[in-house]
Structure 1
C-alpha cells in the first residue's frame, strides 16, 4: 500500500463524498495500482494502492470485517507474517493469499488495541468501528509511515501526506512559521508539527482515537523494550543468536513481487545485509542488485582523516566473494543537488535534509527503477542496533568501580588506533559522560573547547536574524556548535535516536515518484529490542568496536570489509557539482530575493556574499565546509522549498 485517507464529520452529519474524492485525487500519484473508497453515515475511508509484494496485489481496501462492523485502511508492510499466520492457523495456500491488511484486521478483531503489539513492520492504519462510531488510527513504533490529520469542531480528516488535506475546503492554507524556523536551524521541531497550521502529524508509536462525541485522544503504544538485559553463557552463543535473527529479519524484508536492490556502501551494515540477502535470494534462483555511489572519475579532493571517498574496492570485494550480487557503481556528478526540486516537493512535500547526498540518492533510485527493482534495502540504523560500537562500556565499568577493566579496555582502544592514548580514551569515553554538568563544562574549557552560547545556533543556519527572533527558535532548538557530550545511558540514547528518525514523508514521496519501497532491516523491532537488551561488552571487546556484528559476519564478509575501521565519505565531490554552474546559483538567489517568504525567513545577503566569494580551494577545511555544505546548500534548498510552499498558499504566511 502507499496512501490512505478518510473523513469523519461531527454531529452525525453525512460524509461528503465529493470531499472524499478530493482526497483520492490529491493522492492519486501515490497509488498507480488502483484504490478504493468506502463511506457510510459516520465516516468515509479510502486508499491508493501501490503493489510491492504478491499479497499487495490481492488487497481490496477499504477492507470490511466478516461481520461488517469494522472497516480498515492500511498503508505499509507487516514483516513478521509467519508468527501471525501461525496464530490464525492458516494453511500455506491461504497464507499466501492473505494480504497484510487482512492480518491487521484479524488482530484487531481478536485482541483489540492490545493486539497491535504483535505487529512488526512499517505501517500506518485507520479502522472505523461502526458499533461504537469510533475511529482508531496508528503508526508503527519503528519505521512508522506518515499519517497526518486535521481536527476541528465540525470535521476530522486524515491522509498520508499533509498536502492532500489542503484539498478540503475547511482546511486553512496557513504556514506554521515556527516549524519552518526549526527546519532552517537544522532541527525538526515537535514530532507532531507539519509546515501547515492546523495539520498535525501522528508520530510513530502513537495511537489516535476519535470517539462518537468527536473527542480526540493521542497516546503511545507498543513501547520499545529497553529495560531488560540479555546474557548468554558464551560469547559465541550471542553471536550465533544475532546471526540467526539477522538472517530472519533480512529474509522478511526481501518479500517482493519484483527484483530487490540495496544501497550498498563499503561499511559493515549494508555489506552484512548484502551477505544475508544474497544468500537467501540465491537459494531461490534470484539475484541482488547492489548500487554504490562513487565520486567523479579522477576525483582527488580533500578527505578527512579516517575517511575514504571511493568505496569501490570494498564493494568489489563483496561482489567477488558473493556471486549472487550484481554490482552497479553509480556516479551522480552531473546532477546538481538543486535540480528538479519541484519533483521532490510535489511527491514528498519536504526538503531533502542532507542536500549534498540528494544527487546520488536519486540517481541510484532512477537506475534501480529502470532495472525493474521495486524494493530497495538500506543499512540505516545499524550503528545504534546490530553494529553499535559499545561506547557505553567504559562509563559502565567505571560506574561499577571496575577501574582495572576500564583501563585495560581503554589501552586496547589506543593500541588499535581508536583513541590517541589510553588516558584520553578513559577520560573522553569513560569519565566524561559521568561528570556533573559544571565539571564537564570545565573539562571542555581545559581542553580548549569553548562551550557555545545559544546564539551560536545561528552561525550555521541560513535563517534571517529577525525571523529567528520573532519565532523564538533558539528557545526550542538544541545548541549547535557546542561539544557533543557522550550520553551516560547509551541504551536510552540509542532508543531515542531510533524514535527520532523522521524520513517517512520523504520516503512516501520516493515510493510515489520511483515506485520503489525503501526498507530498513536494521531498524526491525525484533532486532532492535534484541540488541538493546545486550550488555555493552558484546559490542566492544579488547579494543574492537562493533564486535557483535563482526563476529556474526565472520566468514561471510571479505576481510577487507570485516576488518575495515574507516568510514566512507558520501558525496565527497559535492562541491564540484554545486559550483559547476554558478550563474544558475545567482539566478536562484535573484528569484529568492523576489519571494516574500524567502526575504523574510532567509539571510539572503549572507548567501549572496558566500556566492560572490566562492573559494578556489580549502574545501577540506571546517570553515569552508560549514559555509558551503551546510549554510549555503541548506539555504538554497530551503529557499526553493519556501518558494514551493508560497505557490501553494497563494499569499504570504500571516
Structure 2
C-alpha cells in the first residue's frame, strides 16, 4: 500500500467534525489535529510530531543513522528541529515527506527535495486542502472547474518543465524542495532546498568521489528496501537499474521474510530486446527475472496513462509496460515497484562539450582541460577541433540553462502566443559564475520530476532510489568532467560498482530502446490515431496543428522516431481528457 494523506488548514473553522467525517468516508485515521490543522493518513504514511504545531508526514530517514524509517523523534531531535526549522530537517533527514509548521498566523508546508511524496493542493469552503492524490482532495471537498486549456497548452509546449499549476482549474501542486507559506488569504512559495547549494566541485579525486557515491546509493536503496517485503525492480539491462539491482540484492539478502524480483520487457525488434543483459545482471545476484513482451494487444488508444493525475503523464507505448508490471506484481506478491529511473539525470549523462567548458572555466586551460577534451572525443567520436569549438560556444553563452520548448504538432497560433513564455523554475536560477555543465545537470534533475508517478503507482508505491536526496546531493558535488573520465559516460557510477556488476554491463555505451515499438503502434493504428487527434478535444480547442498531423499520418508516409514519440504523447493526452470531463 502506498502512503496517502490529506491535510486541512483552516483560517477559522474548527476542523474536528469535518476531519471525523472524512476519516469515516476514506478509512484514513486522524493522526494529528488542532483547531487550525488536521492531518489524516493511512497506515503506510507516518505522522511524526515534533510538537503540537510542527510535524512531518510521510517516510523519513536519518541522514547518518541506520537505513530504516523513523517511527518517532526523541527529545534531542525535537529540540534540534524546533531550533533549526526546515534547514535542520533538510540537513539531518531525507525521505518522501511533507513537513508542516504553524508559526503565528502563518502555516508553512515543505515538500521534500526528491518529490517522492506528491503534494496536490486546492481550496474549498475556506479550507486549504493538500493531499497525496486527487481522490483524497475530492474527499476533502475539492471540486475542480474542468480542464485549464491555457495551462494544458503551456504544458505541451514546455517539454516537461515542472510547474505549480496542473491541467485542472483550481488544482495546484507544491514543487519539490519548496515551501508554501499561507497567511490569511495570501500565500507565497519560497525555495527551501536548491541544487546549487551542492554544485561546487568537492575537490576530491575520482576514487574518493566514487566511494562516496557508492555509500550514498547503498544507503538509499537499503533504507527504501526496509519498508517493503517484496520489491519488484524494473531491469532494463542498462547501468542504472543494474546498480539498483546490486544494492537491492544486498539489502534483501540477509533479511528474513524479504525477497526481491525483477522484470524486463522486450520488443520483437532486436533494438529493444535487453533480455541477455538483464539475465547477466540478475543471475549472479540470485534475483528471479520475469521477461515480458511489448505487445500491441495491450495498446488501447482510448485508455489513458495517468488518468488518476491532475495532469497528463506518459505515452501510449508504455501501456504494455504498465500492464506487465501489474501482472507480475500480482503473481509474485510484490508490495512496491523499484526503478533505476533518474540514473541518467543524477549521473550527469551527456554527449555535449559542456564538461570541457566547465573544466576550462574552473581550472583554466592546461593538462586537466586537455584530458577532458580527450575523454569527450573518445566518448562521442567527435574530433578535437569540433569539441573545442562546441565548448567555446558553451562557455561564451549566458550562465544558466536555456530550457527548450516542444512545439511539434502544436497550432501555430498557440506557438506564437507562447514564444515569450519564460521557462521559470527555482532550480533554473543559476547563481553568478555558475558552470554551464552543472546547469545542464540540474536541468536534467527537473526532467526526472515528471516521471515520478507512473500508472502503476495507483496500485503500489513506486520507489526511485537514485533520486533520493543524499544521492542527488552527492552527484551534484561531483564535477561534470569526472563523469566523463576515461571517455565513458557516468564514469563515477561505473567506478563505484565496478566490483559488483558484470563487465558487460560496465562496458556498455548504449542500451536498448522501445522506439521500434512506437513505430509499430503508429504504423498499425495510423487511421485510429489520425481520427482521434484530428477530431478530438485538443484539436477542437485549437491546440493542435491539424494540417501537420494530417500530413504526417498520410497512408504510406514513413514517420520519424521523434514524430512517433510526440504523436503517442498527444494521443495519451487526448485519452486523459476523457477522464476529467
Q: Is the 8 A contact 2:298 2:323 kept in 1?
A: no
**Structure 1 residues 291-337: Cα deviation after superposition (integer angstroms, max 9, x where no partner):** 112103xx36xxxxxxx4221121122233x2422112221313444
Distance across 1 between alignment mates of 2:347 and 2:551: 41
Q: Is the 8 A contact 2:182 2:188 kept in 1?
A: yes
Cα separation, partners in 2 of 1:156 and 1:283, compared to 1, 3 Å? closer
In the alignment, is residue 568 of structure 1 matched against residue 512 of structure 2? yes
Task: Please identify, of 222-231 and 271-280, the stretch whose mean Cα deviation from structure 2 is larger.
Answer: 222-231
Aligned residue for 2:286? Answer: 324
1:355-434 superposed matches below 5 A: 355-386=316-347, 388=349, 392-399=354-361, 400-403=363-366, 405-411=368-374, 413-414=376-377, 416=378, 418-428=380-390, 430-434=391-395
**Structure 1 residues 519-547: Cα deviation after superposition (integer angstroms, max 9, x where no partner):** 22222222222222223443223433322
Aligned to 1:45, the other structure's residue is in SS state strand
Q: Give the superposed CA RMSD.
A: 4.0
Distance across 2 between alignment mates of 1:266 and 1:337: 24
**Structure 1 residues 224-252: Cα deviation after superposition (integer angstroms, max 9, x where no partner):** 332433233x5434333333333222211
Cα shift at 1:262: 1.3
Q: Is the 8 A contact 2:484 2:490 kept in 1?
A: yes
In the alignment, is residue 558 of structure 1 matched against residue 502 of structure 2? yes
Q: Is the 8 A contact 1:265 1:292 kept in 2?
A: yes
Q: Is the 8 A contact 1:116 1:222 kept in 2?
A: no
Please, which runs of 5 or more residues in structure 2 have no aligned partner? 399-403, 424-433
In the alignment, is residue 475 of structure 1 matched against residue 439 of structure 2? no
1:340-359 superposed matches below 5 A: 341=303, 344-345=306-307, 347-359=308-320
Cα shift at 1:598: 4.6
In the alignment, is residue 78 of structure 1 matched against residue 25 of structure 2? no
Distance across 2 between alignment mates of 1:176 and 1:641: 13
TM-score, normalized by length of structure 1? 0.74
Distance across 2 between alignment mates of 1:353 and 1:251: 28
Aligned residue for 1:98? Answer: 71
Aligned residue for 2:275? Answer: 312
Aligned residue for 1:275? Answer: 246
Aligned to 2:89, the other structure's residue is in SS state helix
1:160-559 superposed matches below 5 A: 160-162=132-134, 164-165=136-137, 171=143, 173-185=145-157, 187-188=159-160, 191-211=163-183, 213-224=184-195, 225-232=197-204, 235-284=206-255, 286-296=258-268, 299=269, 308-320=271-283, 322-339=284-301, 341=303, 344-345=306-307, 347-386=308-347, 388=349, 392-399=354-361, 400-403=363-366, 405-411=368-374, 413-414=376-377, 416=378, 418-428=380-390, 430-436=391-397, 458=407, 460-461=408-409, 463-468=410-415, 472-476=417-421, 489-499=436-446, 501-503=448-450, 506-507=453-454, 510-511=456-457, 513-515=458-460, 517-559=461-503
Q: Is the 8 A contact 1:589 1:604 kept in 2?
A: no
In the alignment, is residue 609 of structure 1 matched against residue 550 of structure 2? yes
In the alignment, is residue 13 of structure 1 matched against residue 13 of structure 2? yes
Distance across 2 between alignment mates of 1:466 and 1:392: 34
TM-score, normalized by length of structure 2? 0.83
Aligned residue for 1:4? Answer: 5
Q: Is the 8 A contact 1:120 1:525 kept in 2?
A: no
Cα separation, partners in 2 of 1:271 and 1:24, compared to 1, 3 Å? farther
Q: Is the 8 A contact 2:312 2:573 kept in 1?
A: yes
Q: Is the 8 A contact 2:134 2:309 kept in 1?
A: no
Structure whose CA Rg is larger: 1
Aligned to 1:551, the other structure's residue is in SS state helix
Aligned to 2:122, the other structure's residue is in SS state strand
Distance across 2 between alignment mates of 1:103 and 1:382: 36
1:14-93 superposed matches below 5 A: 14-15=14-15, 17-18=17-18, 21=21, 25=25, 28=26, 34-36=28-30, 41-49=35-43, 51=44, 59=46, 69-70=52-53, 72=55, 74-75=57-58, 77-80=59-62, 83=65
Please, which runs of 5 or more residues in structure 1 have no aligned partner? 86-94, 301-307, 438-453, 479-486, 648-654
Distance across 1 between alignment mates of 2:177 and 2:392: 34
Cα shift at 1:403: 5.0
Q: Is the 8 A contact 1:264 1:292 kept in 2?
A: yes
Distance across 1 between alignment mates of 2:481 and 2:144: 54
Cα separation, partners in 2 of 1:193 and 1:378, compared to 1, 3 Å? same
Aligned length: 564
Aligned to 1:184, the other structure's residue is in SS state helix
Q: Is the 8 A contact 2:482 2:492 kept in 1?
A: yes
